[in-house]
Amino acid sequence: MRRTPKFLTIGIAPRQAIRARALAIAKGTIKPRPGEPKVWFTSMKSLAEVLSDDNRALLRVIRDTQPESIAMLAQATGREPGNLSRTLKTMSHYGIVEMQRNNNTVRPVAKATEFRIVAA
C-alpha cells in the first residue's frame, strides 16, 4: 500500500543566521509562518550526508515496512544494526525519524520521506 508522502521543509543557512533566527523567535520578535523550515543545516554538504540516496531509501523502507525494531529494519535492508543505529540517531536529531521505545526495543518511525529545501 502506497502512503501519501510526508513532507518536511529544510532550511540551509550559516550558523550565525540560524542562531539569530532562533533567538528572534524565542524573544517573540518574529513568528515562524506555516511552511517555513523547522529543520536547519549549515551547508549543502551536511544536508547531503544526512539525506544521501541510501538514507532516503532507508526512510522509504521504514515507511513501507513499518518495522517493529532496529533488528527487523536491519533484516529488511541488509544493513548492520550498529550502522543503522548511528544513521537513525543522526536522522532523529534532525527530526526526520522518531525513535519510539517499546519495552526492550526501539521502533524507528519515518517522520518525513519527501523534502523541500530552502536556501537562505
AA letter at 87: T
d(CA 84, CA 87): 5
And the C-alpha cell for 105?
526495543
Banded pLDDT at 1 (limits 50, 70, 90): very low
CATH number of 7-119: 1.10.10.10
Average pLDDT over residues 76-93: 94
pLDDT band, residue 55 (cuts 50/70/90)? very high
Measure the CA–CA gap between 22 and 29, rounded to whole angstroms.
10
At 91, is the secondary structure helix, strand, or coil? Answer: helix
Q: Where are the domains of the chain?
A: 7-119
Residue 75 has pLDDT above 80, yes or no: yes
Query: Would you give the distance in Å from CA 94 to the centre of its chain?
Result: 5
Start-to-end Cα distance in the chain: 37
Per-residue pLDDT at 3: 56
